[in-house]
């Protein structure tokens, strides 16, 4: 069973957003306070998406399989 990645507020192009590992979960906000307020208002939704398959795949280590 894999663990859910850490959810945090980070800097991105244009402002700040909520991230889970490398995956950006929210839209961009101008300030960290606005971003943290959005996270608090929608905490259950962000935790749901942080545990989704797409976030899991994006944050996994790529495996290269030679074809020949």
Does residue 1 fall inside a structural domain?
A: no
Task: Give the mean model confidence (pLDDT) for residues 55-65.
Answer: 89
- Which of 18, 39, 29 lies closest to 5 in space, CA to CA? 18
Does residue 20 fall inside a structural domain?
A: yes
State the Cα–Cα distance between residues 38 and 15, nearest whole angstrom: 14
The count of structural domains within the chain is 1
State the Cα–Cα distance between residues 64 and 29, nearest whole angstrom: 36
Question: What letter would DSSP give residue 21?
Answer: T
What number of H helices and E strands is found in the chain? 3, 3
Check residue 1 and give its pLDDT. 44
Does residue 23 fall inside a structural domain?
A: yes
Task: Give the mean model confidence (pLDDT) for residues 11-33.
Answer: 93
Check residue 26 and give its pLDDT. 92
**Residue 24, helix vs strand vs coil:** strand
The domain of 24 spans 7-54
């Amino acid at each position: 069973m894999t663990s859910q990645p850490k959810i945090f507020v980070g800097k991105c192009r244009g402002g700040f957003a909520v991230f889970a590992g490398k995956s950006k979960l929210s839209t961009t906000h101008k300030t960290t306070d606005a971003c943290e307020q959005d996270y608090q208002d929608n905490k259950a939704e962000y935790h749901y998406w942080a545990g989704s398959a797409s976030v899991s795949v994006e944050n996994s280590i790529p495996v290269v399989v030679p074809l020949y």
